[in-house]
Structures are given as structure tokens and as C-alpha cells.
Amino acid sequence: MRYLLDTHALLLWWTDDSQLSPLARAAIELQTNQILVSAASACEIATKLRLGKLAEADEAVRRFNELVAADGFEHLPISYLHALRAGNYECQHRDPFDRMLAAQAELDALVLLTCDPVFAACGTRVAW
């Protein structure tokens, strides 16, 4: 299976937080699964750190690439096709990071690991 981590799922994984669901944890741990991390998550973490909304994410910003590589995850860049799809969603969700993750999951045929119910409005395949 191919999974895309929502930003909160990525942070829960990195901090070994018990709020990460057993299903999500098992999907990430299964070596045969491909786990992708969006460039949108890097931007979201850096933005929230700068705004003081995620003060504990300093290390995640400084070591983002190192942490992704250490876990065997893969980076998922943002293409113009992702951007166009994210901008064209009819759903009322206004968060640009979430819209981008939804577009990447849809266009790249990925399951988004997230507990956020807002993705249902965009028709995103999710698991948690």
C-alpha cells in the first residue's frame, strides 16, 4: 500500500505519541508499505513554528530531511497538477495545506493517514 502522512500523523509518529492510532502505526511500521511525506507538511510545520503555534517543532524543522530519511519515508514534491487540483476543489475546506494533501492523495492514488474528518468533504481516501 502507498500512504501519505497528514502533518499531524507525521508529528505524532516522530514524537511516538499514543494519539497515533494503532492502524496508522501498523501501516507506517509495515516494511512493504510506501510512506510518503508531502512538501506541504514541511511548509505547514515551518509556518506553525514561525507563528508560535507549534513551538515544540523546532527540531522537526531543522532536521526535516534527516528525520524523513531515517524513517525510510519518501518525500512527495508538489507539482503544478497538485496545485491546480487543490485550488479547484469544490469542498468548503479553506486550509491550503489540507487541500494540497487531499490533491496529492487523489492524484497519486494514495491513502491519507489522518484523523481529520474534513478530508471526507474532498472525497479523499483516508485511514486512521
- Concatenating the DSSP letter of every residue in the chain gives -EEEE-HHHHHHHHTT-TTS-HHHHHHHH-TTSEEEEEHHHHHHHHHHHHTTS-GGGHHHHHTHHHHHHHTT-EEEPPPHHHHHHHHH--S----HHHHHHHHHHHHTT-EEE---GGGGGGT--EE-
What pLDDT, in 10s, does the model give residues 51-65? 999 988 999 999 999
Which segments of the chain have a pLDDT < 70?
A: none
Structural domains of the chain, with CATH: 2-127 (3.40.50.1010)
pTM here is 0.95
